[in-house]
Amino acid sequence: MSSDTIKNDELRIYEVGYLFVPSVPQERIGEEIAALTEQITNKGASILAHEDPELRPLAYTILKKVGAVNERFNQAYFGWVKFEMEPAQIDAIKKWMDENSNVLRYLLTTTVRENTYLGKKSSPVIAKEEAVEAVAEAPKVEAAVEGDKVIEDTAKSA
């Protein structure tokens, strides 16, 4: 067994990003979060960080079979949970997510303990305005003007 091989009883860091269907009423989202965190902690995991779900528009329409009907969703509640658990227990979390009718989609990954969340991105408009201000406040470069004179003088004498 190499030193790179992970033993099944060693703790690993996981993160699950999830989408809850928008048909869950806002006042019941807390119950859905509690059910998810209960599933995770009941398997011996400890929660390291999380972000409560927020209703967001989706980049594309997602189909999900609900009963006998395929429903289309253009928005969903997005949230995530980072936790530490034994790899042997992760299949139970996957099974619960697969069977939960309120989970539209999820992504479960291994990650690192350190905080990798960068926060919400600024809008491109703000970034552009800041760049324009930075250029306007930058000192003028005199060497470029003198360099142009040298090029002009060289061209005239040739």
Per-residue pLDDT tens digits of the chain, which is 158 residues long: 444 455 556 899 999 999 999 999 999 999 999 999 999 999 989 999 999 999 999 999 999 988 888 999 999 999 999 999 999 999 999 999 999 999 999 999 999 988 766 666 544 444 455 555 554 555 554 545 555 555 566 556 65
pLDDT at residue 148, rounded to an integer: 58
pLDDT at residue 65, rounded to an integer: 86
User: How many CB atoms are closer than 10 A to CB 123?
Assistant: 9
List the one residue out of 78, 87, 82, 90 whose CA is nearest residue 111.
Answer: 82
CA distance 113 to 111: 7
pLDDT at residue 19, rounded to an integer: 96
The tokens for 68 are: 């006998």
pLDDT at residue 123, rounded to an integer: 44
In the chain, which residue ranges form alpha helices assigned H by DSSP? Answer: 29-42, 90-99, 124-137, 142-157
pLDDT at residue 124, rounded to an integer: 47
Which pTM was predicted? 0.67
